[in-house]
């Protein structure tokens, strides 16, 4: 009778041996927490499709940032909900815009936390698209001008890193040049290089009040069917000066994450998006899965696939567990 000489179960026998052979470690260093900032004072408005997450006014944001820092989370990424929206998304690059106010307050009151800003127009435009609309379509090159203004104004208000998420062609180089020209050569750039037109952004669009008012984002965000295009997008962003490249969403695109890890040496981020978060929360609420274990397993899988860092709404919860 055949009997195995090598028995894999020997290395699974108890917790200590499992710790010794574990190949991937999830730590609090891996996390970037997304936060939504809104006008007002003392506002903590829960986002129903993202349990535990709130739209925060600047004063509440400062408190939240402080508690994230205490947990050891190295960075936050900010999304703004402006007082009002218009055709050209002027709130995105206004001196007293919501993100600019938030950055100044955070810089003054919270030390030693890396501040990233999402650079995009969709939260600020009345039509909800990520750029300037002309003849019913997003005009790429006119949008670049506004994105560069937005990035520069974030840097001037105190951002340490800007993260363009709009998916316009050439925006990384355009923003990099504008930052350098204005004296912000030390501000780093994390590019949403590979961002798919995904159904998993649904809850975010509720949180940021930013669904497109007509059509969809398929003429600028990527087709979920494409891998080689992902490699082209990432290499363009690297050529244009991106410091960090990103894949978004994460869980349905672990193959893409892995492909980028194999192909490029740049630090690689993954965005575990709102819909991925909501699915786990909803199933856990129903008692269909163990939410905590599922969360840690999902985050670990993103790390294992190749992510050096993870933008995730689980950051706080996971940090509390990982210590």
Which residues participate in catalysis according to the annotation? Answer: 195, 248
Mask for 118-137, x = binds ligand PBG (CB under 6 A): x-x-x-------x-------
Question: 184 or 277: whose CB is closer to ligand PBG?
Answer: 277
DSSP structure class, residue 41 = S
Q: Are 143 and 131 in contact (CB under 8 A)?
A: yes
Tell me which residue has its CB nearest to ligand PBG: 204
Among 176, 178, 177, residue whose Cα is nearest residue 188: 176
For the bound state, the minimum distance from the C-beta of residue 32 to ligand PBG, rounded and expressed in Å, comes to 12
How far apart CA 143 and CA 154 sit, in angstroms, is 17
**Segment near ligand PBG (CB under 6 A); pick from 4-12, 62-70, 197-205, 296-304:** 197-205
Contact predicate 151/164, CB 8 Å: yes
**Is residue 81 a contact point for ligand PBG (CB under 6 A)?**
no
The reply to whether 274 sits near ligand PBG by the rule CB under 6 A is: yes
Alpha carbon of residue 134 to chain centroid: 28
Q: Where are the beta strands (DSSP E) in the chain?
A: 31-38, 44-46, 54-57, 75-80, 114-119, 132-134, 137-139, 161-164, 188-195, 244-248, 268-272, 309-312
Size of the site for ligand PBG (CB under 6 A): 11
Sole window of 14-22, 144-152, 200-208, 286-294 interacting with ligand PBG (rule: CB under 6 A): 200-208
User: Per rule CB under 6 A, is residue 201 in the interface with ligand PBG?
Assistant: yes
* Interaction of residue 76 with ligand PBG, rule CB under 6 A: no
Judged by beta carbon, residue 2 or residue 165, the one nearer ligand PBG is 165
Interacting span for ligand PBG (CB under 6 A) from 115-123, 148-156, 175-183, 296-304 = 115-123
Say how many residues make up the chain: 323
Q: Minimal CA–CA distance to 11: which of 19, 3, 75?
A: 19
The only residue of 204, 220, 253, 314 in contact with ligand PBG, by rule CB under 6 A: 204
Nearer of residues 64 and 166 to ligand PBG, judged by Cβ: 166
- Rounded Cα distance between 110 and 126, Å, is 32
Residue closer to ligand PBG (CB basis): 153 or 272: 272
Binding segment toward ligand PBG, per CB under 6 A, in 16-24, 199-207, 255-263, 288-296: 199-207
Gyration radius of the chain over CA positions = 20
Which of 126, 132, 128, 127 has the alpha carbon at shortest distance from 148? Answer: 132
Q: Is 150 a binder of ligand PBG (CB under 6 A)?
A: no
Take residue 65 and report the two structure tokens written for it: 């940032």
Among 257, 273, 305, 310, binds ligand PBG (CB under 6 A): 273
Beta-bridged to residue 86, according to DSSP, are 125
Binding residues (CB under 6 A) for ligand PBG: these are 118, 120, 122, 130, 165, 201, 204-205, 217, 273-274
């Amino acid at each position: 009778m055949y009997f195995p000489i090598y028995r894999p179960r020997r290395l699974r026998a108890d917790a200590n041996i499992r710790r010794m052979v574990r190949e991937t470690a999830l730590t609090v260093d891996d996390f970037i927490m997304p936060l939504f900032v809104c006008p007002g004072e003392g506002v903590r408005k829960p986002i129903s499709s993202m349990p535990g997450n709130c739209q925060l006014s600047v004063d509440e944001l400062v408190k939240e940032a402080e508690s994230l820092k205490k947990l050891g989370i190295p960075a936050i990424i900010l999304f703004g909900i402006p007082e009002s929206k218009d055709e050209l998304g002027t709130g995105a690059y206004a001196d007293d815009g919501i993100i600019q106010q938030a950055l100044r307050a955070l810089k003054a009151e919270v030390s030693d936390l890396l501040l990233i800003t999402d650079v995009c127009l969709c939260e600020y435009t009345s039509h909800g698209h990520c750029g300037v609309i002309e003849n019913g379509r997003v005009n790429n090159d006119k949008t670049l001008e506004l994105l560069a203004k937005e990035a520069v104004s974030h840097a001037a208000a105190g951002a340490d890193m800007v993260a363009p998420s709009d998916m316009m062609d050439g925006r990384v180089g355009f923003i990099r040049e504008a930052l350098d020209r204005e004296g912000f050569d030390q501000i780093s750039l994390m590019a949403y290089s590979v961002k798919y037109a995904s159904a998993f952004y649904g809850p975010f669009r509720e949180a940021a009040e930013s669904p497109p008012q007509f059509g969809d984002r398929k003429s600028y965000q990527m087709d979920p069917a494409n891998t080689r295009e992902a490699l082209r997008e990432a290499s363009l962003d690297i050529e244009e000066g991106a410091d960090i490249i990103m894949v978004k969403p994460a869980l349905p695109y672990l193959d893409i994450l892995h492909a980028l890890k194999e192909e490029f040496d740049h630090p690689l981020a993954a965005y575990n998006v709102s819909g991925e978060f909501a699915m786990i929360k909803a199933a856990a609420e129903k008692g269909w899965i163990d939410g905590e274990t599922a969360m840690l397993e999902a985050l670990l899988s993103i790390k294992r696939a190749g992510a050096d860092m993870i933008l995730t709404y689980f950051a706080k919860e996971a940090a509390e567990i990982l210590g």
